[in-house]
A and B are shown apart, each in its own frame.
Chain A
Amino acid sequence: MEYFIQQLVNGITLGSIYGLIAIGYTMVYGIIGMINFAHGDIFMIGAFVALISFIIFGLTGVALPIILLLVLLIAMLFTACYGWTVEKLAYKPLRGSFRLAPLISALGMSIVLQNYVQVAQGARVKPMQPLISGGLEFFKNSEFIVTVSYLQIFIVILTIILMGIFTYLITKTDLGRAQRACEQDRTMTALLGINVDRTISITFIIGSSLASVAGMMFVLYYGVIDFYIGFLAGIKAFTAAVLGGIGSLPGAMLGGLLIGLIETFWAGYVSLEYKDVAAFSVLIVVLIFFPTGFLGKPDIEKV
C-alpha cells in the first residue's frame, strides 16, 4: 500500500510534465491540424535555457524563490522565440498544402534543432546539482516510508497554477475565443476580422512557453539533460494528447496524467526495462476501443 502511494505521487509528478508538453501538441493540432513534430525539441531547448539560467543565477546567490521565478520567465521568453520562429520558417509557407508536407517539414525541423543543440552545447549529458531538496515523509512507522519531496509539490502546484491561467486564457479572453474560432473554421474566422496568422503564432508561443516550463521541471526533477531528451518526451506527450483525445485541452492534461501514472506503475510493478513500451502499448489498445481518445469529439466523415 505504501509503495502504491509512492508510485502514485511519482506518477502524478511525471504526468504533470507530460501534460504541459501535450497541451502544445493538442493546441497546434486543433488549430492547424498538423502534428508539430518539433515540439519535443522545443521542450528540450526550454530545458537547456533553464539549465543555463540556473547556472548563471546560481553564481549570483539570489534567494531560491526569486531564482525559480526568474528562470521560469526567461525560459518561457526564449523558448517562445523558438516556437515562433519555427512556425514562421517551416510551417507558415506550407499552410494549405497537402497533408503530409507540414509533417515532413516538422520532422526536418526536429532533426535540425536536435543537431543544432548538439553542436552548440556538446553531446555530453549535462548534470545539475539539485536545487530543491528535502521533503515530507509519511507512514514513518511502516516498512516503506513514503516521501513526497518539496520538488514534487512545487511541480504539481506550478502545473495547477499554469493550467488555471491557461484555462482562463482559452475560455474567457478574446484571444481564446479567436483561437477556438480558428479551430472551427479558419476562413469564416478571417472573414469576421480575426487575424488568423497572428492567432496561430500566439498558439505556438503559448505552446512553446508551456513546454519550456515542462523543460525546467525536467531539469529540476531529473537533474540531467542532453540534446536527445526531446524525442522520447515528445512522443510520450503526443501519445498523451492522443490518449485524451487530440484537440481537447482537458484531454491533454488527463492523457498526460494517465501516461505518467501508467509509466511509473509499469516501472514499479512490471518491468523497468520495458517502461517505454507501456505507454505505446496502452496507446494502441486505447485507440482500438476509443478511436478518438477519451475526451475527443467523434469524427464525422463527410462526403
Chain B
Amino acid sequence: MEKKDIIQSFKDSLFTGLIALALFGPIVGLRTASKGEGLFITPQWGIVFLLVGLCILGRFLINLNSARKTEITFFSKFTSKFSAITKDKAKHFAITAILFAVVFPFLPFTDRYFMDVAIMILTYIMLGWGLNIVVGLAGLLDLGYVAFYAVGAYSYALIATTFGWSFWICLPLAGVFAAFFGILLGFPVLRLRGDYLAIVTLGFGEIIRIILINWYEVTNGPDGITGIPRPSFFGLPFKRSPDEGETSFHLFFNLEYSTMHRIIFLYYLILVLALITNYFTLKIRKLPVGRAWEALREDEIACKSLGVNPTNTKLTAFAIGAMFGGFAGSFFATRQAFISPESFTFIESAIIVAIVVLGGMGSQTGVVLASIFLIGITEMFRDLEQFRMIAFGGAMVLIMVFKPKGILANRKPTILMHGDKK
C-alpha cells in the first residue's frame, strides 16, 4: 500500500469519527434523567469517546485491509456451500433434523431451559412455515401476521374458558376463526400492490391489538385472559393430584410425577403441529393452487391472461397462512395458560417476516435455520437484556446487506414442465 492511500484512509477514518461523534454525542453522551421536578442531564462522555474511537479504528482497519470484500466473499462462499450441501442432501438433512428433534428431550444435557427455548424456536418455525405460504409462495408481504396468531390464541382461550371444551376441539376451531379473519381482511385488500398490501396488513395487525386492549367485556382488556386450560394427554391431565374420578398422566403410566412430562408433551405437540404445516406446504405446492401461487409471485399479468383469478388464488394463500397462524396461536395460549395483548405486538410480526425472508423466501429449511439463528441470538444475549434487541435488529441488517436473498435462496418453481434440466 502506498503512502497516499494510508493518508487517504486516515482522513476517511477521521471523517467517520466526526459522524460518529455527531451520532453518539447527544443521544449517548447527554443522558436525560428526572430528578424531582423536571429533567436533568447526566453527561457520559467516556462512553461516547470509546464508541467514537472504536468507529475510527474499525473504519481504518477496514480501509487498510479492505477487509469488507474478503468478508463478503467468505460469508457468501460459506452460505452458498451450505445451500449446495443442503440442496444435494436435502432429504438426508431433513431426516437428520427431524430425528434430532425427536430425541432432543431425552438427550443428557437437555434441561428445562433448553426445552423452553426449543419450544419457542419450534413455535417460530411453525409461524415461519405458515407465513411462508403467504410471503414465500404467493409473494404477498404480510406485516400483520401476528393478528392471526392473536385471533387463534384468543379464540382458543375464550372457547376453552367459556365452554370448557378440550384442546383437540378448540384447536381446529381456532384455526377456522383465524382463516375467517384472513378472508375478511384479504377480500378487500388483496387487489392492492405489494407495498400497499404490506402497510394495510400492518394496520390490520394494530387494529386487532387495539380491539383486544379496549374490548374489555370480552377480552378482559390489557389484563388478558388467565386460567386457560392446559392440554391433556388424550384425556389424561398432567397434575400431581388429579381430581376425583380422574387419572393423571403419571399415575396411568406409573411414573414418578414430574413437571417435565408436560413440557415434553408440549414439545412433541408443537413439533407435530409444525411438521404438519411443513408437510401440508410441501404437498400443496404440487397441487394446481400451489402452482398458481408460485406463478402469481413470478408474474401476475401472465397469470391473468392464462385465466388464473388472482384475487381468489391470493385469498386461499392468505386464508391457509392465517389458519396455521391460528393453530400456532392456540398452542401458544395453552402453553402459557395466560394471554394478553402485550404478546401480539408488531415486533412479533417483524420477527416472523424476518425469519421467512432471512431464511430465503420459499425455502422450508431456511425458515428452520433462520428461527434457530434469530431466536438463538436473542437467547444468547438474554443476560444483556437491554442489548438483545439491538443485536437482533443488527443481525437483520447484516444478513440483508451481505446475503440479500436470505440464507438459503430458493425461488425455483416446484414443478417444471419438462422435468429438471441439469
Contacts and interface: CB of A to CB of B under 8 A. Distances in A.
Q: A and B, one complex?
A: yes
Interface of A: 29, 35, 45, 48-49, 51-53, 55-56, 77-78, 81-82, 84-85, 89-90, 93-94, 97-105, 107-122, 124, 126-129, 231, 235, 238-239, 242, 246, 273-274, 276-277, 279-281, 283-284, 287-288, 291, 299, 301, 303
B392 interface: yes
Contacts of B64: none
Given A55-B41, A276-B210, A82 B23 contact: yes
Contact of A52 (B30, B194, B357): B30
Interface string B352-385: 0110011001000000000000000000000000
B401 A104 contact: no
A126 B39 contact: yes
A284 B203 contact: yes
Contacts of A246: 195
Residue with the highest number of chain B CB atoms closer than 10 Å, among A84, A111, A238:
A111
B57 to A, nearest CB: 17
Contact of A110 (B39, B204, B393, B405): B393
Contacts of B193: 291, 299
Interface string B4-46: 0000000000000001001101111011111000111100000
A124 B34 contact: yes
Interface residues of B, number: 61
A279 B394 CA distance: 31
Contacts of B188: 284, 288
Contact of A283 (B25, B203, B387): B203
B386 interface: yes
Contacts of B211: 274, 277
Contacts of B214: 273-274
Contacts, number: 181
A284 B190 CA distance: 11
Closest A-B pairs by Cβ, 6 of them: A108-B396, A111-B393, A280-B203, A112-B393, A101-B404, A108-B397
B31 A121 contact: yes
Nearest to A53: B26
Contacts of B354: 104, 107-108
Interface in B286-342: 301-302
B30 to A, nearest CB: 5
Nearest to B405: A98
Contact of A111 (B26, B31, B196, B396): B396
Contact of B200 (A99, A103, A127, A284): A284
B19 A55 contact: no
A83 to B, nearest CB: 11
Contact of B397 (A35, A55, A90, A280): A90
26 contacts: A55-B40, A81-B19, A81-B22, A82-B23, A84-B19, A90-B397, A90-B401, A93-B401, A97-B404, A107-B350, A107-B393, A108-B397, A110-B393, A111-B390, A112-B394, A115-B393, A116-B27, A124-B34, A128-B39, A239-B203, A281-B207, A283-B200, A284-B203, A287-B189, A287-B196, A291-B191
Given A115-B390, A235-B206, 9 more contacts: A90-B397, A104-B358, A107-B353, A115-B389, A122-B32, A235-B202, A238-B199, A280-B207, A303-B302
A155 to B, nearest CB: 22
A133 to B, nearest CB: 15
